[in-house]
Amino acid sequence: MADTGSREPSQGRDFVPLLVGLLLAAAVLALGWAAERVAMRSHHVLQQAQVLKTLSGLSARLGGALEANMLVGQGLADYVASSGGLAEGQFEAIARNLLAHRSEVRHVALIHGTVVTDIYPRIGNEAALGLDLRDLPDQWPALRDAIERGMPMLGPPVIPVQGGGLVLISRVPVHAPAPRGQSYRYWGVVSTVIDFDALMRRAGVDEEMPISPVLRVVTNRGLDGAVFFGDPAVLDAAPETVTFSVPGGSWILSGIPAGGWQEPTALAWSLRGGAVSLSVFIGWIGTIMTAQWRSQRRSRRQAMIGSQRHDTMTGLLSRDGFLRAGDHDLARARQEGSTVALMLVDVDRLAALNLAQGAAAGDQAVEALSAVLKKFARPADLVARLEGGTFALLLAGATAHGAALVADKIIHAVRHPTQVPSPAGQGGFSVSVGIAVARDYDLSIQDVLVRAGERLASAKLAGRDRVAV
């Protein structure tokens, strides 16, 4: 059967759907990465909140424990200040009673002026009796500070003269009543030695804690002390920090999780795996949907182009479609070294037929000629209706002689009503044919069409119903 459709060069592979799929996959991966960052950050913030909550509770317990232990010295100082001193044996009795309820207080000392005059318990602490604290460079600055400021002071942890573990020394100045008209006079200091390890245990610091705490001292003079409890390396691990006041300054409590800041590795890999799987799925769906959309769009476009390049009455190629397909066949024939012959076939006296019998009769003649051309055209040939009753038949590989033989058959067929449908009331009709063979200098099929038109005009002038080559 003849080729009545346009011949377009084959299109290359469409990479747009694949590109769209890759872009969608990349977008999903980017969103997955962002979600992972948010999840990791949320996990870290949760750890920070838990550490800060533990530090706040620990600082509250430490502050309460310190206050309770310092009340021992404050109570004794108040008694000495109100009585102006202590009689023989009073210090021991009062101190024993006070220490009975404070297990973290290791001992309490009474300092008159700057000299240790009494201490409880004495057993194991005899070496401290009679010491002038001005001779102890590690304790005198803190004592002098308490005396000068006239308020209770808690010094940084130290190792006492008597030996043993780390202790905190609370110093409460005692001011005895002065004669009338004079202000209170300095009498001395009540010094309370607090077992630091016992204090920390009371506050709940042990190996089972969920954090690794570190303690430092900041005095009212603005001195940032060194770490006196915990691992200093914690300070290099971006710890959470709380500051709480103690008499004479502040303590800085810092901490990190006991095992360090933990990254949610399982969650991260789960999110990554999900992101990769989702990106593959979305990319695949995007590729398929884009390919389908482009295919439908291409089909609609081709259908629109096809409607423009085909004749609606006969279904044959239109002039535009014929010229496009003819150029393609002409180029191919030259590549293959073959020839093509173009035949123009026109219904004789079509205008007169329309006037005499009406447009329907003319349409019947056009349709009849279309059927004949389709019958004699081969699969490799092109058949087109150029306009009105003018048709074109492009014969692949044909010579002028071969084309003339086909033209004779077409002329004979339309003459006989038994072979083709004829216009009403007619015993057949005639056609004229002009034939031109493509030449090497033809730039396009239009050039061949012009020469075929000239031959057709010659056939018309010669009396119609004939072939001109």
Angle at 125 between CA 121 and CA 128, to 5 degrees: 120
**Range list of H helices, 127-195:** 140-149
Cα torsion angle, 371, 372, 378, 384, sign: negative
Where are the domain boundaries for CATH 3.30.70.270 in the chain? Answer: 309-468
- Token representation of residue 333: 């024939």
User: Distance (Å, rounded) from C-alpha 76 to C-alpha 356?
Assistant: 141
The 10 Å Cβ neighbour count of residue 437 is: 20
User: How confident is the model over 252-306, as pLDDT tens digits?
Assistant: 999 999 888 888 877 778 878 888 888 888 888 888 888 888 788 777 666 655 5
User: CA 197 → CA 28, 56, 286, 303, 428, distances in Å?
Assistant: 55, 19, 66, 91, 126
Percent of the chain with pLDDT over 70: 89
| pLDDT, tens only, 173-191 | 998 876 665 667 888 999 9
Q: Which of 253, 122, 264, 89 is nearest to 130 (CA)?
A: 122
Query: Does residue 349 surpass a pLDDT of 80?
Result: yes
pLDDT at site 418? 59
Asked if residue 159 has pLDDT above 80, the reply is no
pLDDT score of 281: 85
For position 434, what pLDDT does the model report?
96
Between 354 and 226, the more confident residue is 354
**Sheet with 382-387, edge to edge strand ranges:** 382-387, 390-396, 340-347, 431-437, 467-468
* ∠ Cα 458 460 462 (to 5°): 70
φ and ψ at 112, to 5 degrees?
Answer: -100, 115
What's the predicted TM-score (pTM) here? Answer: 0.56
Q: Kindly report, residue by residue over 33-73, the tens digit of the pLDDT.
A: 888 888 888 888 999 999 999 999 999 999 888 888 888 88
Name which of 422, 438, 431 is nearest 463 in CA terms: 431
Does the domain made of 12-207+264-306 have the CATH classification 3.40.50.2300? no
Peptide bond into 121 cis (omega under 30): yes
Distance, CA of 444 to CA of 110 (rounded, Å):
123
Q: Top-level CATH class of 309-468? A: alpha beta
209-240 in b/e burial notation, b at 16+ Cβ within 10 A? eebbbbbbbbbeeeeeeebbbbeeebbeeebb
Helices vs strands, H then E, count in the chain:
10, 13
230's torsion region: left (phi>0), alpha (psi -120 to 50) or beta?
left
If you average pLDDT over every residue of the chain, what do you get? 85
Query: How much is the pLDDT for 96?
Result: 85
How confident is the model over 225-242, as a mean pLDDT? 88
Q: Which part of the chain has CATH 3.30.450.20?
A: 12-207+264-306
Given a contact cutoff of 8 angstroms between Cβ atoms, the answer to whether 373 and 345 are in contact is yes
Q: Is the pLDDT of residue 208 over 50?
A: yes
